[in-house]
Amino acid sequence: MALRPIIVLPDKRLRLVSEPVTRVDASVRKLIEEMFEAMYDAPGIGLAAIQLGEPKRVVTIDLARKDDPPAPQVFINPEIVWFSEEKRTYEEGCLSIPEYYEEVERPAEVKVKYLDREGNPQEVHAEGILATCLQHEIDHLNGILFIDHLSKLKRDRVIKKFAKAARRAEG
């Protein structure tokens, strides 16, 4: 299987709102495998299908440490159904905004309804890095990037930097 490239800012597809998956079939399972392959190759801990140019509501996550065995998780049509009042701040990065990291404040805990790889309904209560990662990836499904949680000045600076790099790469 050829490695699929991860799309990078300023690619306009990153702003698309992804469509719900209506049936978990072979094409969705193939997409999941391609997502894990791209995510591990990057390397990253989370990926939304739109980052491969596929506007489908599919998220892959693996929070295993380097020396631990992989712990792949799949979230199809994930939806945050509850979040805590308490907030946590983590330094976030994004495979679609390479080598840029910034502190982002988000709810400390979330409950997420989703379908698993077999299409079975599930719910997870997440806290810590899993809560942050789920919120980051679900944002992607809604056309929101982590830089949208920053000040306008910081966001504009990042967008300008990546637009300039894209122009240089084209020219």
Annotated active-site residue in 79, 85, 137, 170: 137
Is it the case that residue 1 has pLDDT exceeding 70? no
Consecutive H or E run containing 158: helix 152-170
Domain range annotation of the chain:
12-170
Range 12-170 classified under CATH 3.90.45.10: yes
pLDDT at 129 over 90: yes
Annotated active-site residue 137? The verdict is yes
User: Is a pLDDT exceeding 80 seen at residue 32?
Assistant: yes
Instruction: For residues 139-162, give the mean pLDDT.
Output: 97
Q: Residue 141 has what pLDDT? A: 98
Average pLDDT over residues 8-17: 97
Give the pair of three-digit tokens for residue 137: 């990836």
pLDDT tens readout for residues 73-125: 999 999 999 999 999 999 999 999 999 999 999 999 999 999 999 999 999 99
Task: Tell me what pLDDT residue 99 has.
Answer: 94
The pLDDT of residue 170: 85
Q: Compute CA distances 32 → 12, 24, 52, 75, 155, whole Å.
A: 22, 10, 11, 10, 30
The mean pLDDT of 155-161, rounded to a whole number, is 95
Report H helices in 75-151: 128-141
- Per residue in 34-67, pLDDT (tens digit) is 999 999 999 999 999 999 999 999 999 999 998 8
Residue 87 and residue 105 in contact, taking contact as beta carbons nearer than 8 Å? yes
